[in-house]
Structure 1
Amino acid sequence: MTIVREAPKGILGFPTAPYDERGNIDENALGENIDFLIREGLTAIFIACGSGEFHAINNYEYQRMVEIAVSVTGGRVPVYTGVGGNITHAVEKVKLSEELGADGYLILPPYLIEGEQEGLYNYYKTIVESSSLNAILYQRDNAILQLPALERLVQEYPQIVGVKDGYGDMELNLEMIQSLGDRLEWLNGMPFAEITMPAYAGIGFSSYSSAISNYLPHLSRQYYQAILSGDHELVRRIYVDVFLPINRIRKSQKGYAISLIKAGMRIRGFNVANTVRPPVVPVSKEHYEDLEKIINLALEKYPLHQEESTHS
């Protein structure tokens, strides 16, 4: 089989890890979440990553989430898995992802340790050389590659197809894009990426991970198309009316980057409980009600077209 060395482009889907009343993964709800994202036009499924509580799920749950993603997706879009943390566990998850039919994986930062550039190079090298699957590197927290280390990696490993930035150093991003150009796909992975996408698009990032697409995908699409077409007024209105108020709630509590997604999905009628695993906290009643008001206002001001699907 020939592997296409190309990262997904456009708006990328990051499903949650929905739990049932017993605190177990609700597999039906997960399947619905994935299918909804695909039907709404998202170009890839990134399963068991940050939004999917990679930090909190056990090995069996991880395997089931990947199996469900591959099955539900059915080849309609590529499936990427989350790997990282403990390096030996990361290699095991890469091999498992390959066995289960995933198309690639996103490498999350190493556990706790803040390594030198040579250490980060070897961290990525050890993971990437364990498989022929496509790999996307994640610039975040304690894993920030500088250009020389990234250049070494992409020269040696054609399976590295993209870099996702969740750090926000625009000077570093420009240095990498200008030096490596279209050798890689550049993905905006900042928390609530729509907030920063106008700036990222301006320097060459054409893809981003969208948490809000789990409950307002039509608005993310409108916003993205407005950015691409240069409709600055529509970008401004959606930003001010919807994204900025939601982002204020997100930033009010640590962990809301995960739990606020589930709250939004529940408000939109998905079978997803407002339940997360520690140390993440669920959305408070006050913030839930604030989010509900914003979503209702967003649907009133930017309604779904009749031909578009809704779970409300």
Structure 2
Amino acid sequence: MNFDGILFFPVTPFDAEGRVDPGLAREHVASRLPFGPGGVFAACGTGEYHALTAQEAGVVVRSAVEAVREAGADVPVLGGAGGPLGHALEAARAAQEAGAQGLLVLPPYLVNAPTDGLERYVEAIAAATDLELVIYHRANARFTPEAVARLAANPKIVGFKDGVGDVAVTQEVVLAVEATGRTDFQFFNGLLTAELSQGAYRGIGVPLYSSAAFAMAPEVAIAAYRAAEDGDEPRRRELLERFYRPLVRLRDAVPGYGVSLVKAGVRLGGLEVGGVRPPLADPRPEHLAELERILAVGLELAGSPTASGSAALVAP
């Protein structure tokens, strides 16, 4: 399984009765595929994995798989697996039955565990299916470089996603895995609004990142990605200053806005994906208005050249 490009974490649409809407889930994924995501991570963090049953997670993953197949796209689809071990195993099996190619291993439920316990948690999920796994280093699932190197001995474990933000530790993880001889292991920046930190991560050998902005404004996310890839520093910085920094300030205003703002942004784009499930809350009216303003600025930047002379970008 290989990733090349921005990692797309779709939202999970709910209908008026609060049920998962597989048709809208397919539409949401299909509408972003023309922008060339490097992978689709369905029913994960932005997709409200924490609020889904294992069966619902399987429905969401199947919708993403169907959208990719119908588009004839060569994009891997992964599902989430985390929380209580029993639930994680059920979600992992549901993802495999839905046609996923891999799993993002999310943190276990509540408890803090020793390193060897976290390793056993990952190995138990790996043993439950034939799918390849990406480890998510975040919250109460913090892996030492040595632990990641040991897990890398399992060929089914193919990636490491950092959601902690300790660049020094992530650098050690990269070096530890490289020392094992694995050449197919991949590293991801999984911080919230990763575009702000990706310059630093690229410098330590972490070329991939997840983009919440891609779910609601793929034009803007791709503009930032291409500016970084092309070395167009003035354009990248303009996007960071005028779009991403205001978005981060708004995101930090209320806990959980890292998900609910993205879902609101998808709605503002015309796809009625519903609100978020508890314990998250939808944006307040004044915050929704600010999000709309930020998105308008971002879309204007994405579709216009800057002083550096970059070509306009509205769609790939």
- 1:26 is displaced (CA, Å) by 2.3
Corresponding residue of 2:31: 36
- 1:306 is displaced (CA, Å) by 8.1
Say if 1:12 and 1:208, in contact at 8 Å, map to a contact too: yes
Corresponding residue of 2:229: 228
Q: 1:252 to 1:158 in 2, by over 3 A?
A: same
SS of the aligned residue for 1:129 comes to helix
SS of the aligned residue for 2:155 comes to coil
Corresponding residue of 1:243: 244
Q: 1:129 to 1:27 in 2, by over 3 A?
A: closer
Corresponding residue of 1:20: 15
After TM superposition, the structure 1 = structure 2 runs for residues 258-273 of structure 1, keeping only pairs within 5 Å, are 258-273=259-274
Q: Residue deviations 1:239-286, cap 9 Å, x none?
A: 00101001110011001011001111122222223x111110101100
Q: 2:158 aligns with which of 143, 161, 171?
A: 161
- 1:28 is displaced (CA, Å) by 2.2
Partner amino acid, structure 1, of 2:162? D
Corresponding residue of 2:167: 170
Partner amino acid, structure 2, of 1:187? F
Distance 1:21 1:168 in 2: 37
- 1:206 is displaced (CA, Å) by 1.1
Q: 1:132 to 1:73 in 2, by over 3 A?
A: same
Corresponding residue of 2:118: 120
- 1:81 is displaced (CA, Å) by 0.3
Distance 2:46 2:298 in 1: 23
- 1:307 is displaced (CA, Å) by 6.9
Corresponding residue of 1:129: 127
* CA root-mean-square deviation: 1.7
Distance 2:221 2:303 in 1: 12
- 1:228 is displaced (CA, Å) by 2.3
Partner amino acid, structure 1, of 2:151? L
- 1:47 is displaced (CA, Å) by 0.7
Say if 1:12 and 1:210, in contact at 8 Å, map to a contact too: yes
- 1:125 is displaced (CA, Å) by 1.4
SS of the aligned residue for 2:107 comes to strand
Percent identity over the alignment?
A: 36
Q: 1:158 to 1:51 in 2, by over 3 A?
A: same
TM-score (norm 2): 0.91
SS of the aligned residue for 2:299 comes to helix
Ranges in structure 2 where 5+ consecutive residues have no aligned partner = 305-311
Say if 1:7 and 1:162, in contact at 8 Å, map to a contact too: no
Q: 2:104 aligns with which of 90, 103, 106?
A: 106
Distance 1:308 1:227 in 2: 17
Corresponding residue of 1:189: 190
**Is 2:139 the counterpart of 1:141?**
yes
After TM superposition, the structure 1 = structure 2 runs for residues 49-88 of structure 1, keeping only pairs within 5 Å, are 49-74=44-69, 76=73, 77-88=75-86
Moved more, 201-210 or 56-65: 56-65
Q: How many residues align?
A: 302
Distance 1:298 1:224 in 2: 13
Distance 2:119 2:313 in 1: 50
Q: Residue deviations 1:29-73, cap 9 Å, x none?
A: 211111012122112111100111101112332221122111111
SS of the aligned residue for 2:123 comes to helix
TM-score (norm 1): 0.92
- 1:179 is displaced (CA, Å) by 2.5
Ranges in structure 1 where 5+ consecutive residues have no aligned partner = 1-5
